[in-house]
Chain A
């Protein structure tokens, strides 16, 4: 599964990347997870199965959902509590749910 994360500068979501990778490793799931800034999402979205958006840029969600529709991948916002506490396992679970839905 390829999970793309995005926020304003791709910095704080990159914190989450390592936590999610760790959670995936523990569960024995093969994933590719990376974080980018919102302005370059279009250049990365082709490689992703799901796009997760940081809550601080949720004003971009409608726009990003449209991009997701064009590419046929699910797009949603990361839960704020999971985001703030860098809960890799929960966000990974969320990503899986979105992809299999």
Chain B
């Protein structure tokens, strides 16, 4: 068993550390975080729009008029539907920061470059017409949201790389002597922006001459679709969860590291469900959304450790585990489990790593089965924060379905059963130590 921790310490850890420390992945993760508060605020309006109370719709229509829902959802359009724009800014900002170059301009240039990559036209179906026509002069709202997310990410990286390269190489116009320094300085700031815009402009023109038509189409076909398949499959999700658990087993923040890669995919899946839900679709497209993992799998934090906290409170014989249970209950309720992972500890503890990996993998499968058979409602794309306590979280994430709360309860029981024998062994060991045996 010590060989196992050896491998973790000497093989997994350094690789994980290097990946996690990679600046683009970090910028991606930190930049996307900028969209979260807005999306959560938008979610509140979404919840209010679809409260599962009988007679609610009629009541609202009578009180506020027939267009009540449209009006109520205005903020959704300005939060969910502009996530690509915000993410593009955030990612460029964070990346520039990591290169120690001025981040605010980098963010602004990135937004401009993203819009440059987006054709300003929307499809319009005139009354009485059978075929939609493309109308110019409008920024397509659809591409500002999750549909444009991957383009925004790539452009943010590209534009910031160009931006910092030029600044770091100190490429400047050489103005003749006698020109005031402040004037030549203002030109220094112009060059990177001009080059970024020029590059993206050329890219767009090149792409317009191909069958793809726009950068959004290329990225959607070549990146969005394969990634969606990867992130939307059971196998892909199991692998992702396994990696999260493996990283946490070495004491590294697995969810944060894997989230750097999977975050955008799950966010896009979340939003695809939100759009379908908002349009009243019967069948939601995705099971594996951000909420699937945050709320249905990681009950009590990564590793679904809430069951472990409860058994510490109820069944522990050793003082150490009893105390830890009391300490970890409050945070655990809000899905924070560092006291457990580092305090029990689970990190580098071969005995506890086994259920720590098995438990979440098992409930990925139970949740998948429950949702794909229609037994339990799928998450509707309401961005319930990952800190939402169980039962409430499942209820809200499924758009107010009791089945969501029940599934969390069921998953809790599954993880309880998996953790219990391992917990007993560990507790007994601790108890024996305390008794001085």
A interface residues, Cβ below 8 angstroms from B: 7-9, 11-12, 15, 37-39, 42, 54-60, 62-63, 80-81, 83-86
Contact = CB atoms under 8 A, between A and B. Distances in A.
Contact of B30 (A39, A80, A81): A39
B52 interface: no
A68 to B, nearest CB: 14
A86 B327 contact: yes
Contact of B336 (A15, A84, A85): A15
Interface of B: 16-18, 20-21, 26, 29-30, 33, 94, 97-98, 248, 251-253, 255-257, 324, 327, 331, 334, 336, 338-345, 347, 387
A98 to B, nearest CB: 20
A65 B253 CA distance: 19
6 residue pairs, one from A and one from B, having the closest CB atoms: A84-B342, A84-B343, A39-B30, A12-B338, A56-B253, A59-B20
Contacts of A62: 21
23 contacts: A7-B338, A8-B255, A11-B331, A11-B334, A12-B331, A12-B336, A15-B331, A15-B338, A15-B339, A39-B30, A42-B97, A54-B338, A56-B248, A56-B341, A57-B256, A59-B257, A63-B21, A63-B98, A80-B342, A80-B345, A83-B342, A84-B338, A85-B327
B336 A11 contact: yes
B253 to A, nearest CB: 4
Nearest to B344: A84
B21 A86 contact: no
Given A8-B256, A56-B253, A59-B252, A84 B97 contact: no
Nearest to B247: A56
B329 to A, nearest CB: 12
Contacts of B347: 80
A83 B17 contact: no
A55 B347 CA distance: 11
A7 B253 contact: yes
